[in-house]
Amino acid sequence: MTPTLKLGLIGDNIAASRSPRLHQLLGQQNGIDVTYDRLVPRQMGKTWDEILAALPADGYRGTNVTYPYKEKAAAVVRIDDPLVAGMGAVNTVIFEADGPRGFNTDHSGFMAAYRTLRPTTAPGVVAMIGTGGVGRAVAFGLAGLEAAELRLVDKDPARAEALAEALRAAAPGMAVTCFADAAAAAAGAQGVINCTPVGMVGYEGTPVPRAALAGAEWAFDAVYTPEHTQFLADARAAGLAVLSGWELFFWQGVHAWALFSGKPVDEDALRKTLRAEEAAA
């Protein structure tokens, strides 16, 4: 009998997510029949925490968590890694006999993605817009990559300052400053990052004026649906090396699969199949 693995994704605005297909393909690589359900609270008529609480009894091994529930999830699961606890954001939950355990593969996934773009070059001075769940993970990833300085921008200044305080405690070697304006934060920065939902399907636009990208070296957009956002188009036009949210999607998924299943990944084969299917769609 073929082994089975039941997984999910809790989030809003996830109809276009490619995560179900990624995990189904990884199941095929390992001879496992994977189901991966999109779990949207407003469509199900339940709160996100009601959905999370019901999953173990419904046979789920684990679930991914995405916008806007990552910080909420961190408050209700057991987190063993002090670094993830410091982030205060969880994107992967595993259901164990003694309760749900939380992990963050956005953090490790961002670091892996960055190294595909700039394998031997540190991030330098970085302006990051958005300090929610994915922003917190990326910020800790930048600390792990030894960024010299991180400039934080958020429409909620208190949220940005809370992240700044957590980073100063966890990564004293990285200077952290909060800015009120994206253009001001980007001035003189080597890297510019979007960790807001601006640019994704349903949230069109860009969080950074195109003129503010002049002089920067690289840009990353956490949005991956669509992959080619206005922010990244502007960055390319300004001559920056760009890293799309697709790479974060890919690597966080690979790392989540390891937690869900403990099984290996043929990364090249997975990438080729996903890209071929997207091109044919």
Distance between CA atoms of residues 84 and 78, nearest Å = 11
Query: What amino acid positions are annotated as catalytic residues?
Result: 69
Cβ burial of 60 (10 Å; 0-12, 13-18, 19+) is buried
Query: By the 8 A CB rule, do 90 and 81 touch?
Result: no
H helices of the chain, where? 19-29, 41-44, 48-54, 70-74, 82-87, 105-117, 133-144, 157-170, 182-186, 230-237, 245-261, 267-280
Query: By the 8 A CB rule, do 151 and 180 touch?
Result: no
Q: CB-based contacts of 168: which residues, under 8 Å, 6+ apart?
A: 176
Distance between CA atoms of residues 235 and 243, nearest Å = 10
**Do the strands 218-221 and 241-243 form a parallel or antiparallel pair, or are they unpaired?**
parallel
**b/e per residue, 101-138, with b = 16+ CB within 10 A?**
bbbbbbbbbbbbbbeeebeeeebbbbbbbbbbbbbbbb
